[in-house]
Amino acid sequence: MACISGKEEVEGIIERVPGMKDEQEKIDLLLARNANEQLKNVDWNKLNVAISHRLDKVRQSKTSTKRFPTVFKIVAEISAVAVVVVIAVMIKLEKPTNLQLDEGRTAMVEFVKRKGLATVALIEPSDRAHVKVYIAGKDKKLAQCYVKMIDSDRSRKEDSTQAAWIIISRSERVYADNGTKRDMMDMLCLF
Amino acid sequence: MGKSQRAETSDTGQLVKASQAGDRGAFDELVLLYQRRAMKVAIWVLGDAEQAAEAVQEGFVKAYLSIGKLKEPKRFEIWLCRIVANAAIGQVRAAKRRAEKIKIVDHYRGKKTLSPVERQNAEDLKESIQQAMSKLSKKEAKAISLFGLEDLSHRQVAEIMGCSVKATRWHVFRARKKLKVLLREYLE
């Protein structure tokens, strides 16, 4: 400790200065007298009981805090799952990917990132129709498809009429190997 | 180190290890073994048995909660003394703050005059020592209190203080110097 440099002389000074040691001893004796007087009054059993009582309290609270985290952990996990589900549902509403059709089949979505690049022409507007899809300039003629229309709660900008989801799906699932490894046969578009 | 002391140290080491492993009974035994030592430390710092008992309880609770951190089980005694001394110093500080709050009220009540006979009274001495100790720095109060414990070597005191023996002696010197002024009425 820097502030102590030279302080080792302290003991020497006490020895050299007349009467200093006596005074030091007097102080020590005074403190000792009081400490001994106080120690006489100590009820050691009572003290031990008091310490044990305090320790028991701590042990109890420690046990309950050990139990609580498990409950909190479960609640947190449930909440996290719920949040994930809600987010997933919201994302699904925003960008539908796999949509469960009434028949229990899944319609794959051709997700178009840029607006206006995809158009769908219903050649024979019926439940089972030939559909021609233009995506980013490449037309993909699909074979016979199921076409399902679901009204959405959105309005089109052009004529403020209500938009609708058009789900186009093939009766047989055909996986097109177009590099993206996606099923290109089922499509879902918002018009 | 005597035979009995060595046996006690090895017992302590085992009890500490058992406590660290979660044995409640082992810690209770440590309390029984060291409550007197802890009480002595606290009384020297606080000058009052009742307040010291509070500091000792606080000290044992702190020790119980952090016993897992004690790397050298054989050094439990030193470690406990440090915890109890700190708890006691904390109480001195708290008492000082409380005293400062009621200072104004006391001023209007007038100063209590005591006869020399009354001053000899143990209760008065206790109060004077408590007041005097509250005027010392943390280190000074700790050093003078631990030095007073005859069964603690200077090296052990230094270990509890967390500084060198020389530094500890310096703190004791400073504390005595202040106490000489603060308790002059009792020294005449």
Mind listing the pLDDT tens digit for each residue in A7-18?
445 555 555 555
Picking from A16, A31, A41 by the largest number of B CB atoms within 10 A of its own CB, the best residue to mutate is A31
* In chain A, % of residues over pLDDT 70: 32
Distance from CA of A38 to the nearest CA of B (A): 5
For chain A, the domains span 19-94, 98-190
The mean pLDDT of chain B is 81
| Domain containing residue B46: CATH number | 1.10.1740.10
Q: Do A55 and B35 touch (CB under 8 A)?
A: no
Q: Do B53 and A42 touch (CB under 8 A)?
A: yes
Please indicate if any CB of chain B lies within 8 Å of the CB of A78: no
Mind listing the pLDDT tens digit for each residue in A105-134?
344 444 443 444 444 555 444 444 445 555
User: What are the C-alpha distances in Å from A52 to residues A40, A64, A98, B78, B96?
Assistant: 22, 18, 63, 21, 29
Q: How far apart are CA B70 and CA B12, in angstroms?
A: 12
Two tokens at A165? 């989801």
Contact B35, B53 (CB under 8 A): no
Token pair 């302080």 in the structure block, residue? A7
Residues in contact with A92: Cβ distance below 8 Å, sequence separation at least 6, in sequence order: none
Q: How far apart are CA B168 and CA B155, in angstroms?
A: 9
ipTM for this model:
0.74
Residue B40 with chain A: CB contacts under 8 Å: 35, 39
- Which DSSP letter does residue B135 get? T
Which residues span the domain enclosing B161? 3-187
Q: How far is CA B68 from the centre of its chain?
A: 23
pTM here is 0.56
Q: Do A50 and B176 touch (CB under 8 A)?
A: no
Domain count, chain B: 1
| Closest Cα in chain A to B28 | A52
DSSP assignment string, A46-61: HHHHHHHHHHHHHHHH
Per-residue pLDDT, averaged over A148-176, amounts to 59
pLDDT score for B153 = 84
Is 90 exceeded by the pLDDT of residue B60?
yes
Going by their DSSP bridges, the two strands A106-108 and A118-122 should be labelled as: unpaired
Mind listing the pLDDT tens digit for each residue in A132-145?
555 445 555 554 55
Angle of the B122-134 helix axis to the B76-101 helix axis, nearest 10: 90
The mean pLDDT of chain A is 62
CB pairs < 8 Å spanning A and B? 105
